[in-house]
Chains A and B, each alone.
Chain A
Amino acid sequence: MITLTNIHKTYAARGGGAPVHALADIDLSIERGEVFGIIGRSGAGKSTLLRTVNLLESPSSGSVKVDGVEMTALSAAELRQARHSIGMIFQHFNLLSSRTVFDNVALPLELAGMARAEIRKTVEPLLDLVGLADKRDRYPAELSGGQKQRVGIARALASKPKVLLSDEATSALDPETTTQILHLLGDINRRLGLTIVLITHEIAVIKEICHKVAVMEGGRVIEQGPVFDIFAHPKHPTTRSFVDPVINRGIPDSLRDRLSPQPGPGSNPVLRITFTGAKATTPVISAISRQLNLDLNIWHGQIDEIQGAPFGTLVVEALGDQAKVDAAIALVKENNLGVEVLGHALPANH
């Protein structure tokens, strides 16, 4: 649906310094119907990258293809036409304060020259879709942040786009409203088959609705892939710093102090079981204790759900002999879960 090839964007520095590379060496391929997230800290270039898709920012070099059309080759009029099929929503909503909810949603249709009666037939179902039918004649100043973003979404959908670009659409909203808006976007993605490209600095947004993710730093994409793979095996330190708070790979200090790399007298092995999406067919923890008669002492853990599958880690101390522990590890692996021996817990001294 969207293919970015070898995108570079360079600004001449003011006052003749070295030119600024806002984007460098970017290759992205976004499939039809996909929710593609781009995450990065502020200044990473994600906003510039998003704007190259509809050419609000034109790249210094490289190719931008949307639905098979090379955007950089279009004339100004052709580009305006192409933009009708690319909706966009914004962090600060960018609604016209002088227009009612209805008229805001109607704006892109007016711009396209649609007749008034036709506009009505298009806008009203959209207001239903975003749950704002009763606010039709209100002005943006009378709405909450979440309601404003719903208007923004309805407006972006009005011209029946194939692609929706989301520029930090939930960053100005509280957590609860963020969840509602993300659900709405996910729902739209599934019901309309709309391709969504979103940028965010919040990993929770990626976790919530994205299928694939690209991580940006310093104008480059440093890592990209399916959300699961990135969460399970983050390679770049920056990616790890985004992912770690969610999956909590660390162990609390009080437990770490009891951990030794070598077995000692009376020590027990400590295992980390990693849930990386493959659904466990058996309840693995209770299977271990029942089938192998091996007690597991849960030290620490966090299991979350990403894209409807369990995800996270569980750190357990296995209270049994080596043979049983080896059998337990085999059982865990049979269930397609990751497992590693972190070390050996020495008995508590007190």
Chain B
Amino acid sequence: MLSPQIIDLLIKGLIDTLQMVAVSGAIGTLIGLPIGVMLAVTGRGELLQNFAFNKVMGAVVNMTRSTPFIILVVAIIPFTRLIAGTSIGTNAAIVPLTVAAAPFIARVVENAVREVDRGLVEAAQAMGATPFQIIRKVLLPEALPGIVAGLTLSAVSLVGYSAMVGAVGGGGLGDLGIRYGYQRFLPEVMLAVVIVLIVLVQIVQSTGDLIARRVNKRNLKS
């Protein structure tokens, strides 16, 4: 029912989508994870309480998160050009995706770290741990199940966002669905795109859940 050319396009679209999600997810984590941890530990009554840092960083994160993604893509085109050398294509699309992913990931990491029992921090302090040791040996390992769940959520959101960058020539499955399925009236292409996206999101979610369960030692049966 689908012609070989369309199947080729689907495969190419899937690869583009995977590439955009993976790269922006990875860079977004590299940026978002430390910011999230810093947001968590600089809050009121926390390990490294610092109102100024917390407020400023929180405001920056909120600014990015409150901008609708499609507006963000267009608004940061000069920045995208600076980084990627161009503002169209899959590589260029990775820039706005990363800019959207990093603060999102920062917030989910912040929440996961805040969930860690204060008593554990106190116990580590009583042992003479430095703040950095507490972050590395206590907060991050204990928050890991929550962080994995948050990263899974971020990856699923990125799959959705990646479909929008087609609007600026970003490529990927979303772009394929709009150009072929919608503009050329090929409902079977649209259907195929939707099915591939559903399967993709399912796989991402199940893998994330599996990893989160593996790293969670809190509810073991004795």
Contact = CB atoms under 8 A, between A and B. Distances in A.
Given A56-B122, A56-B126, A84-B128, A111 B137 contact: yes
Nearest to A80: B128
A8 B119 CA distance: 24
Contacts of B221: 142
Contacts of B142: 96-98
A97 B218 contact: yes
Nearest to A92: B119
Interface residues of A, number: 30
A276 interface: no
A309 interface: no
B217 A111 contact: no
Interface in B87-117: 117
A120 interface: no
Interface in A123-162: 139-143, 159
B59 to A, nearest CB: 24
Greatest chain B CB density within 10 A among A88, A94, A139 is at A94
B215 A88 contact: no
A270 B222 CA distance: 58
Interface in B121-139: 122-130, 133, 137-138
B222 A142 contact: yes
B220 interface: yes
A33 to B, nearest CB: 21
B120 A96 contact: yes
A82 B123 CA distance: 15
A39 interface: no
Nearest to B126: A88
Contacts of A165: 126
Interface in A70-97: 79-84, 86-88, 90, 92, 94, 96-97
Interface in A40-93: 54, 56, 79-84, 86-88, 90, 92
B125 A56 contact: yes
A64 B118 CA distance: 25
A142 B119 CA distance: 20
B217 A108 contact: no
B129 A80 contact: yes
A112 interface: yes
B150 to A, nearest CB: 16
B119 A111 contact: no
A132 to B, nearest CB: 14
Contacts of A81: 128
A111 B216 CA distance: 23
Interface string B188-222: 00000000000000000000000000010111111
B126 A139 contact: no
B18 to A, nearest CB: 30
A96 B221 CA distance: 17
B160 interface: no
B186 to A, nearest CB: 50
Interface string B132-155: 010001100110100000000000
Contacts of A110: 137
Contacts of B130: 80
Contacts of A140: 217
Contacts of A300: none
Contacts of B128: 79-84, 108, 111-112
B123 A88 contact: yes
Which of the listed residues A88, A96, A110, A143 has the most CB atoms from chain B within 10 Å of its own CB?
A96
A199 interface: no
A179 to B, nearest CB: 22
A142 B124 contact: no
A325 to B, nearest CB: 58
Contacts of A108: 127-128
A141 B127 contact: no
Nearest to B122: A56
Interface of B: 117, 119-120, 122-130, 133, 137-138, 141-142, 144, 215, 217-222
21 contacts: A54-B126, A83-B128, A84-B128, A88-B126, A90-B119, A90-B122, A92-B119, A94-B117, A94-B123, A96-B138, A96-B141, A97-B218, A98-B215, A99-B141, A108-B127, A108-B128, A139-B217, A140-B217, A141-B218, A142-B222, A159-B127
Given A80-B128, A80-B130, 4 more contacts: A92-B119, A107-B127, A112-B128, A143-B222
Query: Nearest 10 pairs between A and B by C-beta?
Result: A83-B128, A94-B123, A80-B128, A88-B126, A94-B119, A108-B127, A139-B217, A142-B222, A98-B141, A141-B220
